[in-house]
Amino acid sequence: MTNTALITGSTSGIGKAFADKLAQEKIDLILVSRDAAKLDNQSKELTCKYGIQVSVIAIDLEKPNAANKVFEAVRELGLSIQLLINNAGFNEYGSFLKTNLEKEKEMISLHVIYTTEMMKLFLPDMVNNGYGRILNLGSTGSIIPCPNDAVYAATKAYILHVSKGINAELKGTGVSITTLCPGSTKTEFAVKAGMENTLLFKFFVMTPEAVAKIGYKALVKGKTSVITGVYNQLMVLSSKIIPPIIIHSITKKMLSSE
């Protein structure tokens, strides 16, 4: 049986890199994004290049009931999902006193509620079939609190902890959940968030292809979590050794655009 993977936020950045990587592995795809035209072009390109089956679902995942709509769309396609990559996300960056509350609420909804709903909907079939892999996109912010990016990091901390907890429940079922924790990555993410001029995105920036390669390997192996890159691994390790007041000061400087 050919595996089928569903990837959200597939038309750019890490999501696009995952789509390319899985297509190279001859895995059929269901691509989910809000831009129907980009999805159509991506589908045609991957089908032509790799000879796989590619289906698309054009939907704004920030809207209410989005997860249920995706689930129903998959059912209508008559497909079964073995790999689920919850990649879609965005960042409302800046001082908490100045950030937009409505955007933060949308971010919480997408990262926290939507991700939880997707697992709730797709896990039962995976468990019944005795096999499944889910990858949820976390961040180094899942582990290190981030001044000037506090709400974003908190949503990613939720993703890491809920994924670890559910993964422990799934032991012995043939199903696992992996949290991918990248640091700064060369995508449109930083530009859209207005944080491309921060120190964080000046040094040790990884390519989305490198991040996706690490994530895919961890996903297939059923690893609980993976931090991408030696620099990010050292940074996270340091955060567990260095006093929090110093870590917070360093993080605040790294995330300052001034």
DSSP classification of residue 112: I
Whole-angstrom CA distances from 41 to 6, 25, 28, 76, 140 are 17, 20, 16, 22, 32
Tell me the two tokens of residue 213. 């390669």
Is 131 among the catalytic positions? Answer: no
Name the residue with tokens 């609190």.
Answer: 145
For residue 143, what are the CA distances in angstroms to 11, 63, 122, 209? 27, 28, 26, 23
Number of Cα atoms under 13 Å in the Cβ half of residue 102 = 1
Q: Which two tokens stand for residue 32?
A: 């989910």
| Active-site entry in 93, 114, 131, 152 | 152
Angle, alpha carbons 158-56-76 (nearest 5°): 90
Catalytic residue positions, numbered: 152
